Amino acid sequence: MNVLVTGAGGFIGHHLVRRLKSEGHYVVGADRKAPEYEPSAADRFFNVDLRFKNQAELAFQSVGKYDEVYMLAANMGGMGFIETHKAEIMYDNTLISLNSLECAKNFGSGRVFFAGSACVYNTDLQTDHKSGGLSEEMAYPARAEPGYGWEKLYTEMLCQHYREDFGLETRVARLHNVYGELGAWRDGREKAPAAICRKVIMADRGGEVEIWGDGGQSRSFQYITDCIEGITRIIRGDYPHPLNLGSDQAVTINELFGLAMDIEKKQLTVSHIDGPLGVRSRNSDNSLIKKELGWAPSVPLERGLRNTYFWIKEQIEHCRSGGDIVDAASTLLDTTEGAL
């Protein structure tokens, strides 16, 4: 097939390009940045800003017609970023999605996948740990997470209307906290597993690490290989409505720190400080994806976190040996707790 991946320079997009190439497809990537940690496997890579329709058209018309389009491009980051850049995120991502869907329609694309988010869920249902997993119908009545969540919910509806009005075959996944190797691990764009691994790695034995809040907020975290498998199954499946794509193995942030410390048997003191927290509890209910696609994620958090931990450790060691100022690494400890 001819396939386009927008956001191909990002974490999930880069992994997806590698997967699609391994299946033998001709893959075009589009992003305003190249992958950070290794070259893209794409057959062709367009360095374009999808907020501008004329630049989006360059990528969408490059092979005549795409059999599959994966809409992963977005301006996003960890909780410290999305809590302080709401207008920027909504503006940028709305333009990216509008241009991508319009180009997919105009250039006769086949199936289109949109990477949504669990941030669309009603925040009133995520105030304590008794609420359990979030099933797909719980996005309504709508009270999405401010900024990022509302934009994702709006684009879900946009995908639905492009399908109904123009016959564009759209598929939507609500992603729950994806983590793994080759993802952001510093500078404020990283999410909780990467931020926590970095803090534990860089702390001296017997030292101290900081957690935003009391650490009792809980989340589920999905390893990147499970995410990529789920994405390809969703776009090629027959279910046209949003589906959860995440793990249902919820842990608290304190427990996630404990798992990271256990990897190298580090005993550290935890200091709780003020910071952006997001909702109190969020977990994925995977009943519908199991029913519709017969699939569930398979990588346990302990294994995925270990893989991520040692990859981040390699990056830190590389920075130190290459003269990247990892004294500024002490400042890395305070950048973010990640998207929760």
207 and 96 both lie in a single domain: no
pLDDT at 130: 64
Same structural domain, 315 and 227: no
140 with 269, same domain: the answer is no
Q: Is residue 289 part of a domain?
A: no
In the Cβ-directed half-sphere of 186, how many Cα atoms lie within 13 Å?
19
Res. 34 pLDDT band, cuts 50 70 90: very high
Give me the domain span that covers residue 197.
Answer: 184-220+249-281+299-332
Give the residue-averaged pLDDT of 273-295: 90
CATH number at residue 325: 3.90.25.10
The pLDDT of 276-284, averaged and rounded, is 84
Within a domain: 340? no
pLDDT digits (tens, 9 = 90+) for 94-105: 999 999 999 999
- Three-state secondary structure call for residue 102: helix
Q: How far is CA 197 from CA 140, 187, 209, 215, 254, in A?
A: 35, 14, 11, 15, 13
User: Residue 339's pLDDT is what?
Assistant: 30
Q: Is the pLDDT of residue 323 over 80?
A: no
Do 96 and 139 share a structural domain? Answer: yes
Catalytic option among 70, 148, 154, 179: 148
Percent of the chain with pLDDT over 90: 79
Q: Is residue 338 part of a domain?
A: no
Domains held by the chain: number: 2
Q: Domain check: are 173 and 142 in the same one?
A: yes
Regarding whether 137 and 14 lie in a shared domain, the answer is yes
Residue 91 among the catalytic residues: no
Do residues 162 and 267 share a domain?
no
If you average pLDDT over each of 20-34, 125-139, 201-215, which comes out highest?
Answer: 20-34
